[in-house]
């Protein structure tokens, strides 16, 4: 299989309201794929269907070659899930909870190796309730990967993190991806998606309105650039030509020069505007 996930015509309704309205999706093995969208757009429902926790109304869905609507124990052992909020065992130590979860899988990683992987070696003997919020989130990720999953779902993984903790977490996720784990990420942090993801899909009103590389999503790479300088600015399709013209005007040194194309956030906000 070239794709870890394949979706065709996925739909889901709640009380007559179409939450997911015909989504098509393909995610390759080993990719980091970010799903973006405002609250209520349908992204959580879509991911829950992929995880096997919610039934679809129609459409074809294949996750690691199986239908998640009919999950087996063997299939579940191949995926890892890190929810936005987890119910952990606060009185167990980090090492104890890792060893417990490792027994649930047929080919789990060594618990101490995973503890080191997520940067919690010095806290391995602490009870979970004694950890900081960022450390507990690392425990969540450790529990998600201890079973050696081929596919890892991450739901808003860095919500509440300070900037330093978020950067460290990104390094961890990049390392997992480098080792070949397919990762599906939902996040409200556009910088996080741009840093981690190979591809991005934006869901709005139950449909995918754009998908692609973060650098080119929604025509971002070919959008007009804004060239600004002390005293003026212009949007142009030919920023290099504009800079050369300004260079002649200012005798080679353009004061406060800046050349900026639309950010991922700019494109995202345009894509999710109600039609």
Q: Where are the domains of the chain?
A: 219-267
- 3-class SS of residue 254: coil
pTM value? 0.83
pLDDT at residue 85, rounded to an integer:
67
* Run means of pLDDT, 10 residues per run, the chain, 275 residues: 90 91 94 92 92 94 95 91 75 93 90 88 92 85 89 86 80 87 91 92 93 87 87 90 92 91 86 80
List of long-range contacts for 221-229, beta carbons under 8 Å, 24+ apart: 221/261, 223/261, 223/262, 223/267, 224/261, 225/259, 225/260, 225/261, 226/258, 226/259, 226/260, 226/261, 227/257, 227/258, 227/259, 228/256, 228/257, 228/258, 228/260, 229/254, 229/255, 229/256, 229/257, 229/258
Whole-Å CA distances, 66 to 7, 52, 53, 181:
12, 10, 14, 17
The two three-digit tokens of residue 29, written as one number: 């093995």
The number of beta carbons lying within 10 Å of the beta carbon of residue 160 is 12
pLDDT at residue 166, rounded to an integer:
81
């Amino acid at each position: 299989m070239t794709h870890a996930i394949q979706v065709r015509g996925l739909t889901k309704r709640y009380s007559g309201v179409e939450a997911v309205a015909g989504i098509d999706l393909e995610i390759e093995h080993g990719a980091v794929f970010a799903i973006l969208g405002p609250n209520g757009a349908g992204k959580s429902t879509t991911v829950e269907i992929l995880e096997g926790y919610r039934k679809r109304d129609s459409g074809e869905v294949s996750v690691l070659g199986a239908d998640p609507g009919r999950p087996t124990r063997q299939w579940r052992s191949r995926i890892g899930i890190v929810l936005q909020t987890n119910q952990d065992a606060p009185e167990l130590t980090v090492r104890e909870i890792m060893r417990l979860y490792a027994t649930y899988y047929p080919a789990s990683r060594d618990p101490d190796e995973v503890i080191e992987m997520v940067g919690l070696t010095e806290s391995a003997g602490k009870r979970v309730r004694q950890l900081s919020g960022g450390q507990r989130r690392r425990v969540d990720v450790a529990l998600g990967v201890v079973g050696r999953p081929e596919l890892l779902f991450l739901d808003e993984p860095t919500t509440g993190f300070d900037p330093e903790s978020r950067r460290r977490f990104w390094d961890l996720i990049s390392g997992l991806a480098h080792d070949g784990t397919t990762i599906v990420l939902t996040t409200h942090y556009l910088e996080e998606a741009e840093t981690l993801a190979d591809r991005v899909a934006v869901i709005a009103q139950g449909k995918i309105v754009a998908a692609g590389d973060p650098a080119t999503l929604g025509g971002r790479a070919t959008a007009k650039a804004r060239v600004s300088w002390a005293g003026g600015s212009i949007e142009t399709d030919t920023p290099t030509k504009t800079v050369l013209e300004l260079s002649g005007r200012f005798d080679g040194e353009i004061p406060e020069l800046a050349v900026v194309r639309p950010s991922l956030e700019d494109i995202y906000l345009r894509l999710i505007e109600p039609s």
